[in-house]
Structure 1
Amino acid sequence: MRNPSLLAIGECMVELSVNSQNSLQHSFAGDTYNSLVYAKRWQPEIDCFFLSGIGQDMFSSMMTKHWQKHGIHSQFTLSSPEHNVGIYAIKNDPNGERQFDYWRKNSAATQLMSLIEQSDSESTWPHFDLVYFSGISLGILAEDDKSRFIDLIKRLRSKGSKIAFDPNYRPKMWTGKAHAIKWLEAAYGVSDIVLPGTEDHQDLLGHTGVEEIVSYCTKHQVSELVIKAGKQGVFAFENAQAVCHVPFTPAKVQRDTTAAGDSFAGVYLACRMANKDVQSAIEQASGAAGLVVQHQGAIVEHSIFDVFRQQFTQAL
C-alpha cells in the first residue's frame, strides 16, 4: 500500500536573518515549502513533494540538499539555466512581527509554467492525493502564467487530486485589490479546502465577520473552509455548515510570527490526510503554530519540534 502524497507548489528562497552576534545567517524558506516541512514532520508517513523552479547557482544546489534533509522530494522541481533562486532578508520587532526585504524578481520560481512546458514533464507526474498552493504561488507569476497555473490546478483536480489553497494575501504582489480579488476567486473556484485569515478578507473585500466569509466562499463552492480569526480562534465549515470553533490559545512568548500560518496549514492538511476529523486537525495545527511563533526563523529546529509533537499527540 502506497503512502499518501502531498504536492506543494510555490517558491523556496534563501532566508537571511541577523543572529545575536549581529551577523547574517542563512536558511531556506517560503510559505508553501514551510507548510510542506511541517506536514512531513507531523505525519512522517506522508510522501511530500515540492514543485518549483530553481537555478543552477550555488544556493540552488544547497537548497535541494536542504530539502532532502527535511524529507522533501525534489524530483519534480525544474532547473532554469538563466534564473537563480530568490533571496529575502528578515528582521523582527520586539513583538515578533516581521519586516522583509526581497530580491525575487525574475527568480527561477517565477518561470515555473515555462519550465514545466519546456520540460514536457507534467505527463510523467504520478497521482498526488493533495495539492497545495497559495496566493503567493500565484502572485509571483506573470499574468499569462497565472491563467496557465490555474489550468494546471484544474487538470490535477480532474485526475482526482484534492486541492487546498491559502490566500496568504500580500498587497505588494498585486497591482491593486481588484487584481488580487480576480485571482483569489479563480483559486477558490478550483479548490476543495480553503484556509483564509479574517485579515485577508477584511483587507481585500471588506468582510467584517466570519459569516460574510462563509457566504462568499460558499458562492465559490468551497467545500471545506477553515477560517483563522486571530484572537477569536478558528472556525470550520463544511458545505457552509458549521463544524466547530476552536478558541485561541496565546503562546507563552511570541518571538517570530514568520511561519505561524504556514505551520498551521501544513499540520492541518497532514492531519486531514491522516483521516483526523476537522476539530482535531485544527487543535493540532493551532498547537504547532503556537510553538513555531516562540522560535526564531521559519523552520523550528527538528529536535524541538519533534519533542513537542510527541508530547502534544500523547496528551490527546
Structure 2
Amino acid sequence: MRNSTFIAIGECMVELSFTAHNKLQHSFAGDTYNSLVYAKRWHNELDCYFISGIGEDSFSNLMTEHWQQHGISDEFALTSGNHNVGIYAIKNDTNGERHFDYWRKESAATKLMSLIEKHGSEPHWPHFDLVYFSGISLGILSDDDKARFINLVTRLKAKGSKIAFDPNYRPKMWVNKAHAIQWLEAAYTVSDIVLPGTEDHQDLLGHASVTEIVDYCKKYEVNELVVKAGKQGVYAFDFGQAVCHVPFTPAKVQRDTTAAGDSFAGVYLACRMANKDVQSAIEQASGAAGLVVQHQGAIVEHSIFDVFRQQFTQTL
C-alpha cells in the first residue's frame, strides 16, 4: 500500500532573522513550504513534495538540502539558469508581530509556469492525493501566469487530486483589492478545502462575521471550509453547513507569529489525509500553531516539535 502524497506549490526563500544581538542568521521558509514541513512532522508517513522554481546559486543548493533534511522531496523542483531564489528579512517587535523586507522580484519561483513548460515536466508527474497552494503562490506570478497556474490546478483536480487553498492575503502583492479578489475567487472555484482567516475576508471584502464568509463561499461550492476567527476560535463547515467550533486557546507566550497559520494549515491537512475527523484535525492544528508562536522563526526545532506532538497526541 502506497503512502498518501501531499504536494505544496509556492515559493521557499532564504529567511534572514535578527538575533538578540542584532546579528543575522539564515534559514529557509515560505508559507506553503512551512505548511508542508509541519504536515510531514505531524504524519511522517506522508510523501511530501514541494513544487517551485529554484536557481543554480549556492543558496538554492542549501535550500534543497534543507528540504531533504525535513523529509520534503525536491524531485519536482524546477531549475532556472537565469534566476536565483528570493530572500526576506524578518524582525519581530516585543509583541511577536512581524516586520518584513523582501528581495524576491524575478526570483526563480516567480517563473514557475515557464519552467514547467520549458522542462515539460507536468505529463510526467504522478498522481498527487492533495495539492496545496495559497494567495502568495498566486501573488508572486504575472497575471498571465496566474491564469496558467489556475489551469494547472484545474487539470490536477480533474485527475483526482484534492485541492486545498489558503488565501493568505498580503496587500503589497496585488495591484488593488479588486485584483486580489479576482484571483481569490478563481482559487475558490477550483478548491475543495479552503482555509481563510477572518482578517483575509475583512480586509478584502469587508466581511465582518463568520456567517458572511460562509455565505460568500457557498456560491463556490467549497466542500470543506475552515474559518480561522482569531480569539473567536475556528469554525468548520461542510458545503455551508456547520460542522464544529473549536474555541481559541492562547499560547503561554507569543514570541513570533511568523508561521502560525502555516503550521495550522499543514497539520490540519495532514490530519485530514490521515482520516481524522474535522474537529480532531482542528484541535491538533490549533495545538501545533500554539507551540509554533512560542518560538523564533518559521520552522521550530525538530526535537522541540516532536516532543510536543508526542505529548499532545497521547492526550487525545
Equivalence for 1:228: 228
RMSD over aligned CA atoms reads 0.4
Equivalence for 1:41: 41
Measure how far apart 1:22 and its partner are.
2.0
The AA in structure 2 aligned to 1:193 is: I
Q: After the TM superposition, which segments of 4 or more aligned residues of structure 1 sit over 4 Å from their partners? A: none
Measure how far apart 1:20 and its partner are.
2.0
Provide the TM-score with structure 2 as the length reference: 1.00
- Percent identity over the alignment is 80
The AA in structure 2 aligned to 1:247 is: P
Establish whether residue 120 from structure 1 lines up as the match of residue 138 from structure 2. Answer: no
Counterparts of 1:139 and 1:239, CA distance in 2: 27
Q: Deviations over 1:3-26 (max 9, x none)?
A: 000000000000001112321100
Equivalence for 2:135: 135
Equivalence for 2:275: 275
Q: Deviations over 1:66-124 (max 9, x none)?
A: 10000000010000000000000000000000000000000000000000000000000
Say which SS state the counterpart of residue 189 (structure 1) adopts: helix
Equivalence for 1:172: 172
Counterparts of 2:135 and 2:8, CA distance in 1: 13
Equivalence for 1:193: 193
Aligned pairs for 1:21-32 (under 5 A) are 21-32=21-32
The AA in structure 1 aligned to 2:51 is: L
Establish whether residue 14 from structure 1 lines up as the match of residue 37 from structure 2. Answer: no
The AA in structure 2 aligned to 1:267 is: V
Establish whether residue 153 from structure 1 lines up as the match of residue 136 from structure 2. Answer: no
Say which SS state the counterpart of residue 190 (structure 2) adopts: coil
Say which SS state the counterpart of residue 128 (structure 1) adopts: coil
Provide the TM-score with structure 1 as the length reference: 1.00
Equivalence for 1:216: 216
The AA in structure 2 aligned to 1:170 is: R
Counterparts of 1:275 and 1:123, CA distance in 2: 29
Counterparts of 2:223 and 2:191, CA distance in 1: 8
Counterparts of 1:297 and 1:13, CA distance in 2: 13
Structure 1: runs of 5+ lacking an equivalent: none
Structure 2: runs of 5+ lacking an equivalent: none
Counterparts of 2:220 and 2:241, CA distance in 1: 15
Counterparts of 1:19 and 1:200, CA distance in 2: 30
Counterparts of 1:174 and 1:22, CA distance in 2: 31
Alignment size in residue pairs: 316
The AA in structure 2 aligned to 1:239 is: F
Equivalence for 1:66: 66
The AA in structure 2 aligned to 1:120 is: G
Counterparts of 1:53 and 1:121, CA distance in 2: 12
Counterparts of 2:184 and 2:20, CA distance in 1: 39
Aligned pairs for 1:277-296 (under 5 A) are 277-296=277-296
Equivalence for 2:237: 237
